[in-house]
Amino acid sequence: MLRKSLSGESMPGGGNLVRLLDAPATSPVRNLFGLSRQQLTEVLFEFGQPPYRAGQLLQAMFQRRIGSLDEVQTLPRSLRQELAEAG
């Protein structure tokens, strides 16, 4: 029944809505704000980084209030680029 109402029969342009809902999901962009130290450690582990990098990133985000990864001078430039490219 929900599918029928989204198919455009009961609302104009509803056919587009069904196509959007059925479209494959794209990879989500990671938001580092709001992650715990443990979660940041796990994210950085995926990039082959030691656990102390999470502390460096937390300090930059919440004490220095950086606006972008490029501003986190305590992280290697290559890591900043990898994180930015990964989203």
**Tell me: the pLDDT tens digits for 33-55?**
888 999 999 999 999 999 999 99
**CA 47 and chain centroid, separation:** 15
- pLDDT of res. 12: 52
Task: For residues 53 and 42, give the distance between their C-alpha atoms in angstroms, rounded to a whole number.
Answer: 11
- Asked if residue 6 has pLDDT above 50, the reply is no
The string of pLDDT tens digits covering residues 56-76 is 999 998 889 888 888 999 999
Handedness of CA 26, 30, 36, 42 (dihedral sign): positive
Q: 18 and 57 in one domain?
A: no
Its domain, for residue 81, covers 37-86
Task: For residues 44 and 34, give the distance between their C-alpha atoms in angstroms, rounded to a whole number.
Answer: 15
Q: 57 and 41 in one domain?
A: yes
Q: 49 and 23 in one domain?
A: no
Q: 49 and 78 in one domain?
A: yes
Task: For residues 52 and 10, give the distance between their C-alpha atoms in angstroms, rounded to a whole number.
Answer: 56
More confident residue, 83 or 25: 83
Query: How many domains are contained in the chain?
Result: 2
Q: 45 and 6 in one domain?
A: no
